[in-house]
Amino acid sequence: MTNIIDTKKEFSAFKRANSFVHAGRGIIVFLKVTPNAWIQLSVFLLVIIFGFHFNITYIEWIMVTFAAGIVLAAEAFNTAIEIDINLTSPGYHPYARDTKDVAAGAVLIASLMAIVIGILVFGHYIF
Protein backbone atom coordinates (compact mmCIF):
# COMPACT_ATOMS: atom_id res chain seq x y z
CA MET A 1 0.00 0.00 0.00
CA THR A 2 1.30 3.44 -0.91
CA ASN A 3 1.15 6.46 1.36
CA ILE A 4 -0.63 9.42 -0.18
CA ILE A 5 1.58 11.77 1.81
CA ASP A 6 5.31 11.25 1.38
CA THR A 7 6.69 11.63 4.91
CA LYS A 8 10.27 11.03 3.78
CA LYS A 9 10.73 14.39 2.06
CA GLU A 10 13.52 16.50 3.40
CA PHE A 11 12.82 19.83 5.05
CA SER A 12 13.09 22.72 2.65
CA ALA A 13 13.10 26.32 3.89
CA PHE A 14 12.12 27.44 0.39
CA LYS A 15 9.06 25.18 0.35
CA ARG A 16 8.07 26.38 3.84
CA ALA A 17 8.42 30.02 2.77
CA ASN A 18 6.52 29.28 -0.44
CA SER A 19 3.64 27.86 1.61
CA PHE A 20 3.28 31.32 3.21
CA VAL A 21 3.07 32.83 -0.27
CA HIS A 22 0.24 30.44 -1.15
CA ALA A 23 -1.54 31.18 2.14
CA GLY A 24 -1.22 34.91 1.49
CA ARG A 25 -2.71 34.42 -1.97
CA GLY A 26 -5.55 32.51 -0.32
CA ILE A 27 -6.26 35.46 1.98
CA ILE A 28 -6.29 37.82 -1.02
CA VAL A 29 -8.71 35.53 -2.90
CA PHE A 30 -10.87 35.31 0.24
CA LEU A 31 -11.05 39.09 0.56
CA LYS A 32 -11.77 39.54 -3.17
CA VAL A 33 -14.63 37.07 -3.38
CA THR A 34 -16.25 37.41 0.06
CA PRO A 35 -18.15 40.64 0.68
CA ASN A 36 -19.11 39.45 4.18
CA ALA A 37 -15.43 39.43 5.14
CA TRP A 38 -15.32 43.20 4.63
CA ILE A 39 -18.37 43.62 6.85
CA GLN A 40 -16.77 41.44 9.52
CA LEU A 41 -13.48 43.34 9.29
CA SER A 42 -15.38 46.63 9.61
CA VAL A 43 -17.14 45.37 12.73
CA PHE A 44 -13.79 44.23 14.13
CA LEU A 45 -12.36 47.69 13.46
CA LEU A 46 -15.30 49.18 15.37
CA VAL A 47 -14.63 46.75 18.22
CA ILE A 48 -10.98 47.86 18.27
CA ILE A 49 -12.06 51.50 18.47
CA PHE A 50 -14.47 50.68 21.31
CA GLY A 51 -11.72 48.68 23.02
CA PHE A 52 -9.40 51.67 23.08
CA HIS A 53 -12.22 54.03 24.03
CA PHE A 54 -13.31 51.92 27.01
CA ASN A 55 -9.75 50.85 27.86
CA ILE A 56 -10.69 47.17 28.03
CA THR A 57 -8.46 44.76 29.91
CA TYR A 58 -5.81 42.46 28.44
CA ILE A 59 -8.08 39.42 28.89
CA GLU A 60 -10.94 41.28 27.20
CA TRP A 61 -8.64 42.08 24.25
CA ILE A 62 -7.82 38.38 24.00
CA MET A 63 -11.52 37.50 24.02
CA VAL A 64 -12.59 39.98 21.34
CA THR A 65 -9.56 39.24 19.14
CA PHE A 66 -10.14 35.51 19.41
CA ALA A 67 -13.84 35.94 18.62
CA ALA A 68 -13.07 38.06 15.54
CA GLY A 69 -10.46 35.56 14.37
CA ILE A 70 -12.86 32.65 14.73
CA VAL A 71 -15.54 34.48 12.72
CA LEU A 72 -13.07 35.31 9.93
CA ALA A 73 -11.67 31.77 9.91
CA ALA A 74 -15.19 30.32 9.73
CA GLU A 75 -16.00 32.67 6.86
CA ALA A 76 -12.81 31.64 5.06
CA PHE A 77 -13.68 27.94 5.44
CA ASN A 78 -17.20 28.70 4.22
CA THR A 79 -15.78 30.47 1.17
CA ALA A 80 -13.40 27.58 0.43
CA ILE A 81 -16.27 25.09 0.68
CA GLU A 82 -18.44 27.22 -1.62
CA ILE A 83 -15.63 27.49 -4.19
CA ASP A 84 -15.13 23.73 -4.11
CA ILE A 85 -18.85 22.92 -4.31
CA ASN A 86 -19.28 25.32 -7.24
CA LEU A 87 -16.46 23.50 -9.03
CA THR A 88 -17.46 19.92 -8.23
CA SER A 89 -21.23 20.34 -8.39
CA PRO A 90 -22.06 23.19 -10.79
CA GLY A 91 -25.64 21.98 -11.20
CA TYR A 92 -28.22 21.83 -8.44
CA HIS A 93 -27.85 18.96 -6.01
CA PRO A 94 -29.48 18.76 -2.58
CA TYR A 95 -26.24 17.60 -0.95
CA ALA A 96 -24.36 20.56 -2.44
CA ARG A 97 -27.04 22.89 -1.06
CA ASP A 98 -26.86 21.20 2.35
CA THR A 99 -23.07 21.45 2.40
CA LYS A 100 -23.17 25.16 1.64
CA ASP A 101 -25.93 25.76 4.19
CA VAL A 102 -24.09 23.90 6.95
CA ALA A 103 -20.90 25.88 6.23
CA ALA A 104 -22.88 29.13 6.32
CA GLY A 105 -24.49 27.95 9.55
CA ALA A 106 -21.02 27.54 11.07
CA VAL A 107 -20.31 31.19 10.27
CA LEU A 108 -23.60 32.17 11.89
CA ILE A 109 -22.75 30.19 15.03
CA ALA A 110 -19.31 31.85 15.24
CA SER A 111 -20.87 35.27 14.65
CA LEU A 112 -23.49 34.76 17.36
CA MET A 113 -20.79 33.66 19.78
CA ALA A 114 -18.78 36.77 18.91
CA ILE A 115 -21.84 38.94 19.58
CA VAL A 116 -22.30 37.30 22.99
CA ILE A 117 -18.62 37.88 23.77
CA GLY A 118 -18.97 41.50 22.65
CA ILE A 119 -21.97 41.98 24.94
CA LEU A 120 -20.13 40.38 27.85
CA VAL A 121 -17.02 42.50 27.30
CA PHE A 122 -18.60 45.85 26.45
CA GLY A 123 -21.95 45.58 28.23
CA HIS A 124 -20.73 46.73 31.62
CA TYR A 125 -18.79 49.63 30.05
CA ILE A 126 -21.80 50.87 28.09
CA PHE A 127 -24.50 50.30 30.70
Q: What is the pLDDT along the chain (127 residues), one digit of tens a residue?
A: 555 666 667 788 888 889 999 999 999 999 999 999 999 999 999 999 999 999 999 999 999 999 999 999 999 999 999 999 999 999 999 999 999 999 999 999 999 999 999 999 999 999 9
Domain boundaries, the chain: 35-126
Class of domain 35-126: mainly alpha
Instruction: Quote the strand ranges of the chain, DSSP E.
Output: none
- The model's pTM: 0.86
Contact between residue 71 and residue 114 where contact means Cβ atoms under 8 Å apart: yes
Radius of gyration of the chain (CA): 19
Mind giving me the DSSP string for 28-58?
A: HHHHHH-HHHHHHHHHHHHHHHHHHHHT--H
